[in-house]
Amino acid sequence: MRGRPRANRVIPAIQIPYNHHNFSSNKYFFEESRDGDDGMILDFLAAAYPWTKSLHVISVIAWMAGLFYLPRLYVYHVEVAGPEGEKAELFQVMERRLLRAIMNPSMIATWVFGLMLVFTPGVVDWSLGWPWTKAVAVLAMTWFHHWLALRRKDLAAGTDTRTGRTYRMMNELPTLLLIVIVVSVIAKPF
């Protein structure tokens, strides 16, 4: 057989010391543990890393579900129900509940757990490109959330002037941002 035996071959992506076991067994990968209150917080974040990331991804999924669904509701609200009447009222209730009960809390949870990950030692290297592309896309996603919240108020007041086509087009934005975010944070190509 030519070369090294299969079992000994190095698979670079797996060789990077980058899974949650490193956090419980190594002190911040290669750094020394720090003393004092800051050290305790960093130790806690490092130990909690796999749980923080799980909660982050769970929150992200709930948030994204809303970001995909709410503009769809707006399309049907505008095209089928119009500004007034029984159907319009039903859409208003669905839109309000989706935003308040699912989207606002899950956006906040995504940010809280995401920022905890940012402060976890060894997770984000700001000299690389991926944290920056992710940050820009995440800010755009947050802007989109607020844009939808403002449109909900217009629709509830019957003052919205946008067409179903506008909402259909805006519906593509979270998909594009999702692709940028997931590639940035998982493939980390730059």
By the criterion CB under 6 A, which residues form the site for ligand HEM?
A: 53, 56-57, 60, 64, 110-111, 114-115, 117-118, 123-124, 138, 141, 178, 181-182, 185-186
Q: Which residue's CB atom is positioned nearest to ligand HEM?
A: 114
Cβ distance to ligand HEM smaller for residue 59 or 92: 59
User: Residue 24 Cβ, how far from ligand HEM at the closest point, in Å?
Assistant: 15
Please state the separation of Cα 154 from the chain's center in Å: 26
Query: Which CB, 117 or 155, lies closer to ligand HEM?
Result: 117
DSSP assignment, residue 6? G
CB of residue 125 vs ligand HEM: minimum separation in angstroms?
Answer: 9
Nearer to ligand HEM, 93 or 119 (CB): 119
If the CB atoms of residues 22 and 166 are measured against ligand HEM, the closer one turns out to be: 22
Task: Kindly state the smallest distance separating residue 53's Cβ from ligand HEM, in Å.
Answer: 6
Minimum gap (Å) between residue 144 Cβ and ligand HEM? 10
**Minimum distance from CB of 174 to ligand HEM (Å)?**
8
